[in-house]
Structure 1
């Protein structure tokens, strides 16, 4: 009986953890988009200058700033260069978050920007979404967690049950 309750508890834990996945992925995608828009807005004036004088080539604008005799321009070249790289990074992240749900989940799991991921985690508030995607994630995680733990327990118990009779084994497998 206790074993049945432990199974239910484990299943419930897996369910609650699983329903968090779509909400976290959605929060990460929204954070990426917000940062992307902000960085794009900060770069917009420099893009206009690059369009006017360098056929839209921001790298040429940065190179021009770096080659300047004015130390202020040389210093600004570093800032603009970092901003250009930031926009590129956020564009790549945004593109990755436009794919199907499984591609988004894989990206967040293995290839997400660490700083954005940490920021999302710190700001994340646990929620129980009743969207079909959240329910599917919850059930999938619950079944996987329950199956893994039960398999592990059975594997660990197997050496101790070698000498049992068939009747005892059948009674415990029900």
Structure 2
């Protein structure tokens, strides 16, 4: 009986963990989009200057700043270059998070920005969503966790000889 309750508890834990996945993915996507929008606001003036003098090419504007004889302009070239690189990076992140759910999950697991992940995790509030994708994630995670733990316990039991009858043990020791 205790074993059945442990299975249910394990299943419930997997369900609760699984329903968090879509919420976390959504929070990460929103964080990336918000930072991308903030980056665009910061580059607006530079974009206008690049549009007027360099046909919209921000890289050409950065090169112009770097080639300037004015030390202030050269110093600002590094800041502008950082802003341009950050904007391009955030644009790539937004595109990666607009794909299908499995591509988003793969991106988060393998290529997401570590700093953005930490910020998202720090601000994340656990929630139980009743959206179809959250329910699906919950059930799949619950089943996988229950299956994995039960399989490991059965394997350990077999290795330790738990559940073998005395007759079977004697037969194998002859």
TM norm structure 1: 0.92
Matches of 1:165 and 1:4 in 2, distance apart?
Answer: 26
Aligned to 1:135: 135
Aligned to 2:34: 34
Residue 161 of structure 1, CA deviation: 3.9
Aligned to 1:164: 165
Q: What does 1:116-131 align with in structure 2 at a 5 Å threshold?
A: 116-131=116-131
Aligned to 1:147: 147
Matches of 1:102 and 1:165 in 2, distance apart?
Answer: 49
* Corresponding pairs, count: 166
Matches of 1:163 and 1:19 in 2, distance apart?
Answer: 39
Matches of 2:39 and 2:9 in 1, distance apart?
Answer: 45
Residue 163 of structure 1, CA deviation: 4.1
Residue 56 of structure 1, CA deviation: 1.0
Aligned partner of residue 65 in structure 1, secondary structure: helix
Please identify runs of 4+ aligned residues in structure 1 that moved more than 6 A. Answer: none
Aligned partner of residue 56 in structure 2, secondary structure: coil
Moved more, 102-111 or 13-22: 102-111
Matches of 1:165 and 1:135 in 2, distance apart?
Answer: 46
What does the per-residue CA deviation read over 1:25-45, in whole Å, with 9 as the maximum and x for residues that have no partner?
000000000000000111111
Structure 2: where are the runs of 5+ without partners? 168-174
Q: What does 1:93-108 align with in structure 2 at a 5 Å threshold?
A: 93-108=93-108
Aligned partner of residue 130 in structure 1, secondary structure: coil
Residue 132 of structure 1, CA deviation: 0.3
Q: What does 1:7-18 align with in structure 2 at a 5 Å threshold?
A: 7-18=7-18
Aligned partner of residue 84 in structure 1, secondary structure: helix
Residue 164 of structure 1, CA deviation: 1.8
Aligned to 1:49: 49
Matches of 2:111 and 2:6 in 1, distance apart?
Answer: 35
Residue 71 of structure 1, CA deviation: 1.2
TM norm structure 2: 0.92
Moved more, 119-128 or 157-166: 157-166
Aligned partner of residue 41 in structure 1, secondary structure: helix
